[in-house]
Amino acid sequence: MARTHHKKQPTQAQEGEDDSCRLDKWLWAARFFKTRSLAAEAVDSGKVRVDGDRAKNAKVMKPGMRVSIKNKDMQIEVEVLALSNARRGAPEAALLYRETEESVQLRLQVKGTGADLFALRERGAGRPTKRQMRDIQRFTGRE
């Protein structure tokens, strides 16, 4: 008996793969977070808002939605242009969203004032040693 090979018919989920997309998957695919679990954690902690409201990881994304992302490194607001459930290269990921004008202006303003540099310090300059603490206490008069 000869085996016949049938071409597998694509399922509905495969055909319309990017018709719907979860929020955490979209954030990961758009390269705002390195892993999907980091994206989910940010959504759970309220650092990601959709159309001004807190959202859950399973929120179904649609083109036209506004997503605000607050992170230690950035604060950005984007408009969703396309959906994707797969993470691709940065040039393709950039086609999924468009940054709003207000967000661009705010980012440039923060960059100009240096407000984002307040927490920078020399690499390796951790907590003061005991000796440095004694010197600081002597200098400030808190002995």
CATH number at residue 110: 3.10.290.10
Residue 110, judged by CB atoms within 10 A of its CB (0-12, 13-18, 19+), counts as middle
What would the mean pLDDT of 12-18 be, rounded to a whole number?
Answer: 42
122 falls within a domain: no
Encoding tokens for residue 55?
Answer: 């959202």
123 falls within a domain: no
Structural domain range at position 78: 16-116
67, 52 contact by CB (below 8 A): no
What would the mean pLDDT of 100-125 be, rounded to a whole number?
Answer: 73
Round to whole Å and give the CA distance between 61 and 54.
13
Is the pLDDT at 135 greater than 90, yes or no?
A: no
Round to whole Å and give the CA distance between 27 and 71.
13
94 falls within a domain: yes
The count of domains in the chain is: 1
Is the pLDDT at 91 greater than 90, yes or no?
A: yes
102 falls within a domain: yes
pLDDT confidence of residue 77: 94
90 falls within a domain: yes
